[in-house]
Amino acid sequence: MFKTYVVSSWRHLLRNKTYAFINILGLSLGIACAILIFVLVRFHLSFDTFHKESDRIYRINTEFHDEGINRNAAVPVPLGKAFRNDYTFAETVARVVSYPNTLISIPGDKNTKKFQEDDGIAFAEPQYFDIFDFPTVEGDAKKAMSDPTGALITQTIAKKYFGTEDPMGKRLRFDNKYDYVVRGVLKDLPANTDRKQQIYFGWDSYKNYQPYMASDSSWGGVYSGSQCFARLRPGVTAEAVERAFPSLTKKYYSADDAKVWHFRMQPISDIHFNTDMDGYADKKYLWAVSFIGLFLIVTASVNFVNLATAQALNRSREIGVRKVLGSEPMHVFWQFMAETALITLFALLVGLGLAYAGLPGLNALLRRPMSMDLFGSWTLGAFILATYVLVVFLAGSYPGLVLARFRPALALKGKLDQRHIGGFSLRRILVVLQFSISQLLIIGTLVIARQIYYSEHADLGFVKDGVVTVPLPVTDVVKARTLRDRMLEIPGVERASLCYQPPASQSNNNTSVQYESRPKTENWSINEKYMDDQYIPLFGLKLIAGRNIFPSDTANGFVVNETTVHKLHAGTPLEIIGHQLTVDALKGPIVGVVKDFNNYSFRGDIAPIAFYTYPKSFRTCALRINARTDLHAIERVWNDTYPQYVFSRQFLDERIARFYEQDATLLKLIEIFAGIAIFIGCLGLYGLVSFMAVRKTKEIGVRKVLGAGISQILWLFGREFTRLLGIAFLAAAPVAWWFMHRYLESFKYRITIGWEVFVPALLGTFAIAALTVSYRSWRAAAARPVKSLRSE
């Protein structure tokens, strides 16, 4: 019986190649997208789950309770030691401090090889490799980290630095100052970990690099790369640990500071998804992409159902003969299910091929090395099998039931009509559903695109175009000024400034602030920005009161922003000029107030900021350039000034665009999937119009004989789909508004959703559908009436 079903299905598909092609193409696109989305979601959900006892691994975070609650993934360096010594909650506690964008050099007899490592280096305690399962291929990780001069590198780094030579015992130099010896080689880190550093140095050497931060007294400072991990004992809960933290803060902080400083436990499984701190992927975006995958499967299945029910009348005599010869309704049903299974199998094979072909592009878009090992992962195989079964029953069950209930007498006489297969009602509903999904994706695409455009092109309160930044790799004020002066000699360089970071940056320092003789520091922290006297004019910051700072080697006054004035509650910007401010133990007068500007992305509020001169913390040389500037000249001057280091430069507008990197990636994904959803929908429309043209051949001939023009015949086809697309838009618009309003809520500064989103979405869908319908409709309308009337 099964063989008969398959043979019969195969013959039917050969006789109806267009029907089979449309269905296979639509289903294969939907299945390919679903597989890629599954691979993407599975990859992100697997982050750092491979560590032993990962459900008991936590990261300790800092919370600052001042006017609001601010969270930071980092902690003061001494916290890990205190937590280990004062409490017995954890089996293992480990501190690690990382520094990105660092210089590593390999000293040689003749020349020194230099490498700029974007992922940087980390100083790690030996216990770090007890908590995290990063095995070594040579040496012992804990012994290497117990050695103050010990270094651990990954296999990739070993090959990069030493080629085919044995790396053990080789010398590395960090920051042109600190020498280390390779004591172990780690197996390359898996792609699904948020621990990105590939070079580790012994913890005891950290005090040589940062004496204060490494000391047991640096409780008041939080560097963003300072993290502490703990594996709790069995049975110990995070809540129990957090209840004990207040006693720790009372021990190591003053009574006032203990009210501000709080610590929390974060499960390792939450780190990758917590974008409020340093997480990469927001889970709500993953679920959104997952639903898009489901929508695409539904859209492709809707095509199948529509085309199958539309074609049912063409098969009425076939079904009638089968029933007269003794076939039961269930035999007819399973015959059609076999046909559906065969089409879906072909679609699955094509979809797998498309998924494999599309994976490199997806990896390039996300900059993640995801893999699709069909035979090495039971989860992927199970998903593909489940998708196959779901599509077969989703797409095949209703048309199978429709065919199975045909009455043989009517079928053989050719008297079946649309009423016997449910009329147009179901197909109308399915077309509305299909294009509602397409409209939802189109509206989402337009909203995200407009928000990103707004974020990148809105007035941020400072000049970002035509600004390039180069690093100052060493704390040498004389060299830095020499570099600045030489840069100004390059044609096209209009201004140059030495500073810590540009006005908007992901690297920020926050510290305590005290106004005049108030008895206590304010219960909020202030953002420090170190600058010279050229900073304000270079970035176009607007002074609304007072003046700029004078050229100096030491702080001679503070310039603050409007938000600082408001938070101090000390009068107007003009009234605050001349009053004393203490920032990070440095006291001086407020000499100027600048207009507020966005110092973070549009997702964050404008922070209170204090600008002042502190040359020891200058890390950047900012240049205002024009179109005539020779960028190679900038590189030559920099290399002349810092020959031992590796040159790099960044345009400020590119740095700001990175604030919205995840949004841009989401936009690209939705654009691709929206295009595929529309294409699948258009395939279905084309198929439906083709069957309508066949069914209405005689009607078209009669209408033309009675004087109907081509435009009237075209409207005969178009009016039905125009009405359905309008209903689809009315159904999709409020749902899309709700979802996109929720998305925009994550931005403090955002666009509004108005007609400029909905009208293009509606008109675009109508235009695409009209093009799809018009070609086949025109062919039917342009046919000679005599030929049409003879067709039956």
Q: For residues 613 and 549, what is the distance between their CA atoms, to the nearest angstrom?
A: 8
Higher model confidence: residue 525 or residue 402?
A: 525
User: Which range (533-542, 648-657, 683-692) has the least confidence?
Assistant: 683-692
Cβ atoms of 599 and 609 within 8 Å: the answer is yes
What stretch of H or E contains 71? strand 69-72
Residue 160: CB atoms within 10 Å: 16
Overall pTM surpassing 0.85 (yes/no): no
Residue 718: both structure tokens together: 């178009």
Q: Which of these, 90, 89, 96, 102, lies nearest to 75 by C-alpha position?
A: 96
Q: Which residues pair with 200 in a beta bridge?
A: 122, 152
Looking at residue 722, what is its pLDDT? 80
Summarize the confidence of residues 296-302 as an average pLDDT: 84
Residue type, 658: R
Residue 717 pLDDT greater than 70, yes or no: no
Beta 102-106 vs 171-174: how paired, if at all?
Answer: antiparallel
Summarize the confidence of residues 459-486 as an average pLDDT: 91
Which of 333-337, 417-421, 649-653, 775-779: highest mean pLDDT? 649-653
Residue 16 pLDDT greater than 70, yes or no: no
Q: For residues 79 and 90, what is the distance between their CA atoms, to the nearest angstrom?
A: 14
CA atoms within 13 A of residue 247's CA, in its CB half-sphere:
9
Residue type, 435: F
Map tokens 């039971």 to a residue.
Answer: 378
Residue 646 pLDDT greater than 70, yes or no: yes
Q: What are phi and psi of 266, to 5 degrees?
A: -120, 120
- Kindly give, in sequence order, each residue whose CB lies less than 8 Å from that of residue 7, ignoring residues fewer than 6 positions away: none
Residue 353 pLDDT greater than 60, yes or no: yes
Residue 45 pLDDT greater than 70, yes or no: yes
Residue 487: both structure tokens together: 């840069």
Q: For residues 44 and 48, what is the distance between their CA atoms, to the nearest angstrom?
A: 9
Summarize the confidence of residues 6-33 as an average pLDDT: 74
Q: For residues 562 and 557, what is the distance between their CA atoms, to the nearest angstrom?
A: 16
Looking at residue 127, what is its pLDDT? 95
Query: Under DSSP, is residue 224 helix (H, G, I), strand (E, B) or coil?
Result: coil
Residue type, 454: Y
- Kindly give, in sequence order, each residue whose CB lies less than 8 Å from that of residue 399, ignoring residues fewer than 6 positions away: 304, 305, 308, 309, 312, 336, 340
Q: Which residues pair with 515 in a beta bridge?
A: 581
Q: Which residues pair with 15 in a beta bridge?
A: none
Cβ atoms of 789 and 698 within 8 Å: the answer is yes
Cβ atoms of 298 and 291 within 8 Å: the answer is no
Residue type, 134: F
Map tokens 């595929």 to a residue.
Answer: 676
What stretch of H or E contains 780? helix 755-782
Dihedral Cα 608, 610, 616, 620, nearest 10 deg? 70
Residue type, 469: T
Q: For residues 610 and 561, what is the distance between their CA atoms, to the nearest angstrom?
A: 7
Cβ atoms of 119 and 197 within 8 Å: the answer is yes
pLDDT tens, residue by residue, 402-460? 655 545 544 444 544 555 444 446 667 777 888 888 888 889 889 988 988 888 888 88
What confidence tier does 166 reach under pLDDT thresholds 50, 70, 90? very high
pLDDT tens, residue by residue, 721-753? 788 888 888 999 999 999 999 888 888 888 888
Q: What percent of the chain has pLDDT over 70?
A: 84
Residue 74: both structure tokens together: 């980092």
pLDDT tens, residue by residue, 487-519? 999 999 999 999 999 998 877 777 788 888 888
Q: What is the per-residue DSSP string for 455-517?
A: HHHS--SS--TTEEEEE--S--HHHHHHHHHHHHTSTTEEEEEEESS-SS-S--EEE-EEETT
pLDDT tens, residue by residue, 110-130? 777 889 898 999 999 999 999
Query: Contacts from 235-241 at CB under 8 Å and sequence distance 24+?
Result: 236/89, 236/90, 238/58, 238/265, 238/267, 240/89, 241/58, 241/87, 241/89, 241/265
Running DSSP on this structure, what letter comes out for residue 448?
H
